[in-house]
């Protein structure tokens, strides 16, 4: 299965933010949308970073109340690990594990087209396990019926 298949089955609208947004706004949006990260895009739509709950929590631990005066550009990760729509889910999972990330922006020809989360990977893995169990069950039934 490819990343594009998972994105298509999710039917989620890609949510992004801009570097100038306040951290207070980002916290509210993350909470309201029940998501853990935003890809950060320039006004022209280019991916320039990613900001996650983890980035915000770490900044809060360091700066406390001063965090409300900060903006996405101050906290975002600028070196973003990405994958392509054609990337296999196995490879996407390896990328996420290798880099210890829970959100993976998905690109198509240099354009941001989606966001893969660790939850997406978990749901895919569960379906893979169910499919494998069904194949094994059917094979056992076929052997018994010989």
Cα–Cα dist 74/145, whole Å: 65
How would DSSP label each residue in 5-69?
HHHHHHTPPP--B-TTSBHHHHHHHHHHHT-SEEEEE-TTS-EEEEEEHHHHHHHHHHHGGGGGG
User: How far apart are alpha carbons 87 and 9 in whole angstroms?
Assistant: 16
Q: What is the pLDDT of residues 64-101, one digit of tens each?
A: 878 888 999 999 999 999 999 999 999 999 999 999 99
Rounded to two decimals, what is the model's pTM?
0.83
Domain residue extents for the chain: 3-144
Q: Mean of the per-residue pLDDT values for the chain?
A: 90
> Is residue 125 over pLDDT 90?
no
Write the CATH number of the domain with boundaries 3-144: 3.10.580.10
> For position 131, what pLDDT does the model report?
66
pLDDT value of position 33: 94
Identify the residue with better confidence: 52 or 123.
52
């Amino acid at each position: 299965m490819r990343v594009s298949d998972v994105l298509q089955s999710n039917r989620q609208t890609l949510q992004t933010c801009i570097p100038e947004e306040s951290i207070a706004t980002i916290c509210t949006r993350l909470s309201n949308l029940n998501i853990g990260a935003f890809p950060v895009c320039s006004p022209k739509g280019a991916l320039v970073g990613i900001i996650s709950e983890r980035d915000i929590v770490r900044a809060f631990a360091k700066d406390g109340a001063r965090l409300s005066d900060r903006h996405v550009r101050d906290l975002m990760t600028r070196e973003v690990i990405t994958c392509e729509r054609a990337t296999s889910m196995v490879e996407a999972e390896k990328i996420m594990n290798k880099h210890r990330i829970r959100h993976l922006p998905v690109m198509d020809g240099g354009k941001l087209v989606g966001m893969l989360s660790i939850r997406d990977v978990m749901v895919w893995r569960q379906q893979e396990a169910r499919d494998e169990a069904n194949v094994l069950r059917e094979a056992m039934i076929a052997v018994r019926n010989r």
